[in-house]
Amino acid sequence: MIPIRDTTPSRSYPVVNMMIIGVNVSVFLVQLAQGPGLDHFLYTYGLVPARYSQPQISFHFSWFEQIFALISFMFLHGGFWHLLGNMWSLFIFGDNVEDRLGPLRYLVFYMLCGLTSGLTHLVLNLHSNLPTIGASGAIAGVMGAYFVLYPRARILTLIPIFFIPYFLEIPAFFFLGLWFLLQFFNAAAASADMSGIAWWAHIGGFVFGILFLKLLSAFPAVPGRLQKMTEKKGTSRLQVIQPVGPGSDLNLYAAISVSSHEAAAGARKLVDIPWGFHSRLFHVNIPPGVRQGSVLRLKGMGRALPDGQRGDLLLKVMIAGTDGQGNEAGN
């Protein structure tokens, strides 16, 4: 299963999440510049359990190198596809978790998840002399938090069956729950030394992600000014809608969400309508000055009769942050 996107828009720009992605990409470029010294580089800055359990190995490293490796390992990757897979998962799930925690708490959360995932691997593979690298454990923590925060969100997922790509919208609790179970099965079937993948780091990251979410949620969020700086002025450009059509009505009915800024200035949205194993994508222009409850008519996008007659798709405009009468909603 390959996640393509989720259906939960974030209310703020994920500045920390994008910063973390940028740091990972930058470190990967540093890795590529190492040339023949790459193995020594990975052994120095990766997480090697034997460096902490065997005195004859730890003797060759300073205390700073030993502590720094507990952090640096989560920014290293074994290749382009390893990096791409991790960063894509972080891009999909991280923005919503940052949106809920706020930038500063999310940064602390991510680093704690990465650290504890590494310690989980270290304790369970105390004498391994292989460097463990990658952001997978930290990202597993992000996925654990998403599992708790947005269980009913839907994940558009690519499932290749006999080389035929199928796209399904899967509930987040099912997608992430299945992912977690697969980590357990893989951990039970192979040791880290044989597989080269720290399955228990993934498991530890996911579990600690849930615990750290509960812990950090008890602390106050960032100051209001910083929160305001990262707030989005618009709703998500891509919106997934589920139109309905009562009885024999040829027309279909759905709602589209815009911000007050977009309602005043106008906007252009990309609308996705799930259609079997595929999706129908089309653009919708939001005219300037649109009001709460206004209806946009998309001709020919409704139901079709055998004789070729088609109904319309009627989109009701919902302005985020207002009540049913178009007034600003209170906090």
Q: What is the pLDDT of residue 46?
A: 93
Query: What's 15's domain CATH number?
Result: 1.20.1540.10
Q: Which domain holds residue 218?
A: 2-229
Distance of CA 51 to the CA centre of its chain: 33
Nearest-angstrom CA–CA distance, 205 and 53: 22
Q: What is the pLDDT of residue 195?
A: 47
Q: Is 326 contained in some domain?
A: no
Domain final position from 196, 229, 262? 229
Domain final position from 172, 200, 229? 229
Determine if the pTM surpasses 0.85. Answer: no
Q: Is 324 contained in some domain?
A: no
Residues in Cβ contact with 144 at an 8 Å cutoff, skipping those fewer than 6 apart: 113, 176, 180, 205, 206, 207, 208, 209, 210, 213
Question: Residues 38, 152: one domain?
Answer: yes
Question: Residues 185, 282: one domain?
Answer: no
Residue 227 in contact with residue 110, Cβ under 8 Å? no
Question: Residues 245, 185: one domain?
Answer: no
Structural domain total, the chain: 2
Nearest to 263 by CA among 328, 329, 316, 319: 319
Question: Residues 198, 257: one domain?
Answer: no
Domain final position from 193, 214, 229? 229
Question: Residues 247, 161: one domain?
Answer: no
Q: What is the pLDDT of residue 38?
A: 94
Query: What's 268's domain CATH number?
Result: 2.60.260.20
Length of the chain: 331
331 residues of the chain, pLDDT tens digit each? 788 888 787 778 899 999 999 999 999 999 999 999 999 999 999 999 999 999 898 888 899 999 999 999 999 998 999 999 999 999 999 999 998 998 999 999 999 999 999 999 999 888 889 899 999 999 999 999 999 999 988 888 888 777 777 778 888 999 999 988 888 887 777 654 444 567 888 888 999 999 999 999 888 766 556 666 666 666 777 777 778 887 778 888 988 888 888 888 888 887 877 655 456 777 888 899 889 889 999 888 888 777 778 888 889 998 875 544 444 444 3
Question: Residues 144, 275: one domain?
Answer: no
Q: Is 217 contained in some domain?
A: yes
Question: Residues 116, 185: one domain?
Answer: yes
Question: Residues 224, 312: one domain?
Answer: no
Question: Residues 37, 108: one domain?
Answer: yes
Question: Residues 224, 270: one domain?
Answer: no
Q: Is 330 contained in some domain?
A: no
Q: Is 327 contained in some domain?
A: no
Question: Residues 47, 131: one domain?
Answer: yes
